[in-house]
Amino acid sequence: MGEEPGTEARRRELSGSLERVRERIRRATEAAGRDSEPALIVVTKFHPASDVRLLAEFGVRDVGENRDQEAAAKAAELEELPLAWHFIGQLQTNKAKSVVRYADAVHSVDRASLVSALGKAVAASGRDRALDCLVQVNLDPDAAPGRGGALPEEVPGLSDLLAGTEGLRLAGVMAVAPLGEDPAEAFARLASIAEQMQRRHPGADMVSAGMSQDLEQAVAAGATHLRIGTDVLGTRPRVR
């Protein structure tokens, strides 16, 4: 089977950057005195399906996407690969039907209307296993409501609603460190929100935190899942 020209160069590039990120995760895990490494979700948004295929050769099993149309197309093209698709972007309720067809987890559940849309979509899809859902928390202390992430005080109510919705499994919390704040402090607040959630919902043990810039701080704060794009794939094309 022939490959596109340039594939071999890209393969070497991705293999090198992936190894460097894995090494950072190993070191951060060791520095934090943790027994087990967090899982690496490679965020492949804006990059072609051919890159995801190469990453799969190197053992990547978890990939993250933030736009439904792009994610749906890639998941369909790569259907034969053993990949888990993590939806990490802001999600409109009218996209719920599409997302539940390919996603293994949705990290960006931040409002009641989305919980009910996802629950209905799972019921209508005939999907045979529950959809893992994480409550996205807005960690910005000056956050206005309704802008990507539930406020910390909204998390318990939203978690109870999720846990009580058939077809959905409350899996944990997700957050992005706010700009202009030490990520270690933001991730410490997330860890305490996660702990409170787990007291009420013992199985909800995922803590999705840490991107290219702040993965070390996230590992130190107890993240179980890292979402790394740029440092594996390179900078994203700006326009498309």
In the bound state with ligand PLP, the residue whose beta carbon lies nearer, of 43 and 131, is 43
What's the one-letter identity of residue 23? E
Q: How far apart are CA 62 and CA 86, in angstroms?
A: 7
Stretch that binds ligand PLP, among 49-57, 67-75, 181-189, 225-233 (CB under 6 A): 225-233
Sign of CA dihedral 36, 137, 84, 42: negative
In the bound state with ligand PLP, the residue whose beta carbon lies nearer, of 136 and 159, is 136
Residues 116-135 that bind ligand PLP (CB under 6 A): none
Stretch that binds ligand PLP, among 10-18, 28-36, 178-186, 224-232 (CB under 6 A): 224-232
Residue from 158, 176, 190, 207 touching ligand PLP (CB under 6 A): that is 176
Q: How far apart are CA 12 and CA 119, in angstroms?
A: 42
In the bound state with ligand PLP, the residue whose beta carbon lies nearer, of 45 and 101, is 45
Stretch that binds ligand PLP, among 124-132, 152-160, 163-171, 211-219 (CB under 6 A): 211-219
CB of 70 to ligand PLP, least distance (A): 12
Residues 66-105 that bind ligand PLP (CB under 6 A): 66, 88-89
Binding site for ligand PLP (CB under 6 A): 43, 45, 66, 88-89, 176, 211-213, 227-231
